[in-house]
Homo-oligomer: A and B are copies of this chain.
């Protein structure tokens, strides 16, 4: 069990977005910081037999209602993307590229990607679309588009995903607090109490 707060998410997950708007502030109230790790959930969903809410009979109607309602409940920007689920490969690689090459920008880039996709409804499946988001933060487009083709970047994402799966991660968001796992943005209240109390 590693110490710290580990925040695993898929950029294609709206509940990951919701958690991402809150988790740093939540941790800071307890004097803690958070490690963000975007991963690709497609492979692990095959293992667990889960199917996307977005396409499942009956559940999809509820899903679309829930995500808009949840955003209004939290008071965070939300525009339903035309493409759900988007392909989050380029966005995820962009994060690990930034972590290596522009580490001071990585967290901001992750939040900007979440905001562009879930706050503004933009499809970030293509590297160029991710580069548009990065450019607004002052990251040179060509550096990012070229960079995410690097084997080290691809490997960083594979490694993060493999590590997450090995730790039992099967959904987004998935948060470890000093090794204790919490799945879902609707467990943040329990994360908060866990940080306050050290467990129960």
Whether the Cβ atoms of B183 and A186 lie closer than 8 Å is no
Residues of A27-82 contacting chain B, CB below 8 A: 44, 47-51, 56-59, 61-62, 65-66, 69-70, 72-73
Residue tally, chain A, CB below 8 Å to B: 29
Q: Which of B50, B62, B193 contacts A168 (CB 8 A)?
A: B62
User: Is residue A119 contacting chain B, with contact meaning CB distance below 8 A?
Assistant: no
Does residue A121 face the partner (Cβ distance < 8 Å to B)? no
A190 close to chain B: CB less than 8 A: yes
* A85 CB within 8 Å of chain B: no
* B184/A58 in contact, CB under 8 A: no
Q: Is the CB of A59 within 8 A of B51?
A: no
Inter-chain contact A57/B47, CB cutoff 8 Å: yes
A189 / chain B contacts, CB cutoff of 8 Å: 189
Q: Is A11 an interface residue (CB 8 A)?
A: no
Smallest Cβ distance from A155 to chain B, in angstroms?
23
Task: Indicate if A187 sits at the interface (CB-CB under 8 A).
Answer: yes
**In the complex, A124 Cα to B69 Cα: how many Å?**
37
**Contact across chains for A193 and B58 when beta carbons are under 8 A apart:** no
Report yes or no: B200 in contact with A66, Cβ–Cβ below 8 A.
Answer: no
Quick check: is A170 within 8 A (CB to CB) of the other chain? yes
**B69-A59 in contact (CB<8A):** no
Q: Which residues of A contact B (CB under 8 A)?
A: 44, 47-51, 56-59, 61-62, 65-66, 69-70, 72-73, 168, 170, 181, 183-184, 186-187, 189-190, 193, 200
Instruction: Provide a sorted-by-A list of 30 A–B residue pairs whose CB atoms are within 8 angstroms.
Output: A44-B58, A47-B57, A47-B58, A48-B56, A48-B57, A48-B58, A49-B51, A49-B56, A49-B57, A50-B56, A50-B59, A58-B168, A58-B170, A59-B170, A61-B168, A62-B168, A62-B170, A62-B181, A62-B183, A66-B183, A69-B190, A69-B200, A70-B190, A72-B200, A73-B190, A73-B193, A184-B186, A186-B186, A186-B187, A189-B189
